Amino acid sequence: MDVKTKKIAAAGLSSFLLVAMVVAVAAGVEGGNPVPVPNSGGNTAVHAICTSTDYKKTCEKSLASTNSSDPQELIKVAFNFAIDDIQEAIKNSTLYKQAAADPRTKGALEVCEEVLDTSVEDLRRSFDRVGNLDMSKLKQYIEDVKTWLSGAITNHETCLDTFQNTTGDTGEKMRNLLHSSGMLLSNGLAMVGDISSIFSSLSQGVGGFFSRRLLAEEELKSDFDGKVTDAGPPPFVDAEARRMMTANVFTLKPNIVVAQDGSGQFKTINGALSTLPKKSDAPIVIHVKAGFYKENVILPKKVNNIVLIGDGPLKTRISGSKNYVDGTQTFHSATLAVNADGFIAKDIAIENTAGPLKHQAVAVRVSGDKAIFFNVHMYGFQDTLYAHTYRQYYRDCTITGTIDFIFGDAAAVFQNCHLVVRKPMENQACMVTAQGRKERRSIGATVLQDCHIMAEPAFINTVPPLKAYLGRPWKEFSRTIIMQTLIDGFIAPEGWSPWQGNFALDTLYYGEYMNCGPGSDLSRRVRWKGIQNINDAIAQSFTPGRLFAGDEWVTQSGVPYVAGMVPKKKV
């Protein structure tokens, strides 16, 4: 981009170029013939910006009230429309909760109110970011918006999931209430991806836009999401990164000390958290001395950049036992629930001791963006780690469990971690992962890199032998990549298990690359349409430097980290 174009963009005067591009797209050619567009009041820009969406009629309806031809303004209008729709659902969920007699239904509605409120917040910060695009930070801005919109979609789905075992028709009512907002959120993600191509092509002209658009569509079909061509993290450092530069976990001094023996300011972790400001971005380091802390720790939203450091995972342990069978929703069963951004945990253990008979019982739930776990042990059975949403990095961690014990829809990378399968109940098979990507454009992916998938002796020694799989598809576009990882021989030769019947077998995205060990043999793997033949370029696209599309929040933490492929795989 030349200097003149930069100045025009910075001054907010690029609308003319943008409109020219979207008009060209709306009247684009396919095989040399004009592509017909539906009638929506004659606003060609609306036609164009809705072209890439899956729900075009809903898109055009959401934009019918505006005559603007500025793509940024159109996207903001669409976001506001979605906000209004979700807020109406929240209002109704409150009324339903007041009338509900079934405790399960009340619990489900409580989850809905919480996660839908987060969806609204994600839309609002996406609205602000789109409205204040900085061309020098374009790539990171767009990736942030895609992350937050993906989070809004995940939270939308989380609400609906909570009604699976409730009585009455409240779940169906909520599904109907959220039907249109689900389409609006999907459309918003499509629009943002499209405007990214538009802005990136300012230096290339309309022809450059067409070539990038076609490339993006092909990559979406193959599910790379354009990461292969990324050049790594952007050269700038934003305000959040500058704050986190001081958050090197090896040099930080504690602001607060928690100790059961009374040698710190607090005897409980929740006691320390209760004193923190409700909205803060300043890093706060909490040192949790050796001890057994029996409490469910909840890190509230917007209490950002908390660093929780123990004395080692064999010395400092947080323990809880909430579970689904005893009446707690899976979402609220976590021993440690992280709802804020920029969280770091180091040298600590977290467990849920409910046991296999209690079914879903989460040890750690991460619902905050840019979370890091380093040398953390997580112990549980079913649903041990709920990697719920946004961007997450796990390094040198040990995670144990039975069924779906790493699940969720985060863009989550695990490097040099030990994933330990435990003995389940009778007639149960074990699943290491259950990735839950609902929307094909969202950032969600579970990536195991340079890890070790192993089993405890009680599992190995059971007669007859027990079954264990690398994963199964929780949602339609489930996406899991396992690469450069040692897989022990207890994993079933098929590798992957169906969820139910043929559900998601054509739309999932599962791949294995450069793994080793007796469980890594690909010759007898399932042959579903969604099983991928991973090559080096695709594998590179799922390394954290590419998947996170801006990894300064990891590199500045001081935590060991490899942005690309690990130089030497395990042997």
Residues forming the active site? 404
- In angstroms, rounded to a whole number, what is the distance separating the alpha carbons of residues 409 and 400? 19
Coil/strand/helix, residue 382: strand
Give backbone dihedrals phi and psi of 338, rounded to 5 degrees, phi first.
Answer: -105, 110
Give backbone dihedrals phi and psi of 558, rounded to 5 degrees, phi first.
Answer: 85, -5
Helix (H) or strand (E) holding 166: none
Judge whether 72 and 49 are in contact, CB under 8 Å: no
Question: Which pair of tokens denotes residue 411?
Answer: 């863009």
Nearest Cα residue to 158 out of 93, 247, 80: 93
Judge whether 43 and 67 are in contact, CB under 8 Å: yes
- In angstroms, rounded to a whole number, what is the distance separating the alpha carbons of residues 488 and 480? 18
Q: DSSP secondary-structure letter at 523?
A: T
- In angstroms, rounded to a whole number, what is the distance separating the alpha carbons of residues 491 and 58? 45
From residue 96, alpha-carbon distances to 91, 105, 110, 330 in Å are 9, 9, 10, 20
- In angstroms, rounded to a whole number, what is the distance separating the alpha carbons of residues 5 and 127? 24
**Residues 6 or more apart in contact with residue 75 via CB below 8 angstroms:** 49, 130, 188, 191, 192, 195
CA angle 443, 199, 4 (to 5 degrees): 150
Judge whether 317 and 345 are in contact, CB under 8 Å: no
